[in-house]
Structure 1
Amino acid sequence: MQRIHNVTQLADLDDDALARCYAYPRHLDEPWVRANFVSSIDGAFTVDGVSEGLGTPADKRVFKVLRELADVIVIGAGTVRAENYGGAGTDPQRRIAHHQQGIGGHPDGAAPPIAVVTATAQLDPGSKFFTEAEVAPLIITTSHAAPEQIAALENAGAEIVIAGTASIMPAALIRVFAERGLHRVLCEGGPHLFGQLAEAGLVDELCLTTAPLLVGGAGGRISLSASTFDLPMTRKQLVLDEDGTVLARWARR
């Protein structure tokens, strides 16, 4: 029988050890794009339109760790609306400790900004995404967006970046982060944004939680793109929880 390497039981990992499992590469000089998703055993990434129904205690624990390691969290506008996003909610002391260990975080514990990719800037400035933000959200949009909508989001405290005319190309999105020194990128969805980044060859890593559920229905998959593509990945680690949750980390070859 062949032994499967890099398999760990979640119960054996304290918070520091779990963070080290998900450490970003050291001394990055360009963005490293990590995506994080949860899906059911039969491939659904939402239940009744949101991912919350799939979240196990193990998934929620890793979700928090990944945020505490990141320089920036990037999501699509549809995910902001569907998941009722608020602020990043990270622990400042954990962020400082991660920075001191060289695995991520921030030197003064500041929370990572959440960047939203939206061609039209059609977001509600009165939503908790803006009212509960710990740091200014980064709205990455196009010159096609209505000036009055951009002004409303700026008044709500957002930083606006124009990164395209009618659409935002994946390379232009990553360039926004590179210009700001935000090298530890965490993509939390949705499937279209993740699919576009993967199709462009810009995804370095995927952290995928498989929840011990069969849900059926007509739910979509975690990656959607205009065309099929081949992006070979290699399994870097498996973390297993007693409830059956499987936490896998895949890296581009």
Structure 2
Amino acid sequence: MRSLFPVTDQTPAGGPEAASAPALTGVPDRAPAPTADRAPAPTADRAPAPTADRAPAPTADRAPAPADDREWSLDELADWYAYPETDRPVLRANMVSTLDGAAMHEGRSQPISCPADMRIFGTLRGLADAVVVGAETVRQEEYRPARARDAFAGRRAAAGQGPAPAIAVISASLDLDFSLPLFTEPLVPTLVLTGAAASAERREAAEKAGARVLIAGEGRGVEPGRVVAALAGQGLKRLLTEGGPTLLGQFVAADVLDELCLTVSPMLAAGDARRIAGGPRMTLPERFALASVLEEDGFLFTRYRRP
């Protein structure tokens, strides 16, 4: 793996055929690849300059690129993708897309992914306080709780984080199987965010299963901006959304997405697969700033953030 941007003294010259590092190894468990709802891609019109209530953007070169003649360690990846140091919540999304814009193949993201993408996926989870996911993804993938990983234990303890990120499920109907391990076997309680008018019976069922219910909307539905505030109110400020596209689209339209980590897969899928984000149409497309690009085996691991 090598850094293409920001350009450093470790960035090899000569284009794609230049010597590249050995493939990443030690692929961690990727969350059951989210399907049609992997994670909506945030694209909301944001102010060109950060304001007082925006989290400061991390510097593009905060972590030096490891040398080309060896693989990147999980610790180096964690430094590279570290959240900005701020007291404000930061919402990051992680998605994968083919060259022609497909966010999945036959309903799953894994066919268009690769081991390095899954390794970065695990690193992003290892840095997060909470992983935000849509109910449809949970239902289709039988989502499991995040696990503790030795590679991130010291870093998480130093940051005052729990052993693993909490999974935060967004659901208006609370039509969820509360007998799943996600609710019965988590290291840290699973969170369920819903609206104030959601079924009292289903809320009680969630709490009996061990989940913590948070209200993030006045009606039955959830308001994306209130999701971030509700989680921050629980002390969860390093947020990662894994989808799906509907949820990501809502975050984009609500202008609450701070960063997008997008893997560009060197594949063509055609067909009618969904894009990484769906939902409300933006009045004007919002532009994000390129923070970094890593490359391995033709895959590009990009990171964009609000200017």
TM-score normalised by L of structure 2: 0.74
Contact 1:139–1:161 (8 Å) recurs in 2: yes
Q: Deviations over 1:163-191 (max 9, x none)?
A: 22222111211110121121111011111
1:239 to 294, 298, 303: 294
Contact 1:94–1:109 (8 Å) recurs in 2: no
SS at match of 1:38: strand
Percent identity, aligned pairs only?
39
Post-superposition shift, 1:213? 1.8
Contact 1:118–1:139 (8 Å) recurs in 2: yes
Structure-2 residue corresponding to 1:82: 140
Q: Deviations over 1:81-123 (max 9, x none)?
A: 22321011231551322553xxxxx536511101011111111
Q: Deviations over 1:183-230 (max 9, x none)?
A: 111011111111111112111100001122212221111111222242
- In 1, Cα distance between the equivalents of 2:251 and 2:99? 24
- In 2, Cα distance between the equivalents of 1:81 and 1:112? 20
Contact 2:129–2:161 (8 Å) recurs in 1: no
SS at match of 1:248: strand
Q: Are 1:32 and 2:90 counterparts?
A: yes
Alignment length (residue pairs): 244
Structure-1 residue corresponding to 2:191: 138
- In 2, Cα distance between the equivalents of 1:225 and 1:10? 39
Contact 2:215–2:230 (8 Å) recurs in 1: no
- In 2, Cα distance between the equivalents of 1:146 and 1:62? 38
Q: Are 1:170 and 2:228 counterparts?
A: no
Contact 1:208–1:247 (8 Å) recurs in 2: yes
Structure-1 residue corresponding to 2:269: 215
Structure-2 residue corresponding to 1:194: 248
2:202 to 133, 146, 149: 149
Contact 2:130–2:236 (8 Å) recurs in 1: yes
Structure-2 residue corresponding to 1:5: 5
SS at match of 1:207: strand
Post-superposition shift, 1:251? 0.7
Which stretches in structure 2 are left out of the alignment for 5+ residues?
12-19, 23-67
Which stretches in structure 1 are left out of the alignment for 5+ residues?
101-105
Structure-1 residue corresponding to 2:152: 94
- In 2, Cα distance between the equivalents of 1:108 and 1:141? 24
Structure 1 or 2: larger helix share?
1
- In 1, Cα distance between the equivalents of 2:247 and 2:148? 23
**Deviant stretches of 4+, over 3 Å:** 7-12, 106-109
Q: CA RMSD in A?
A: 2.0
Structure-1 residue corresponding to 2:105: 47
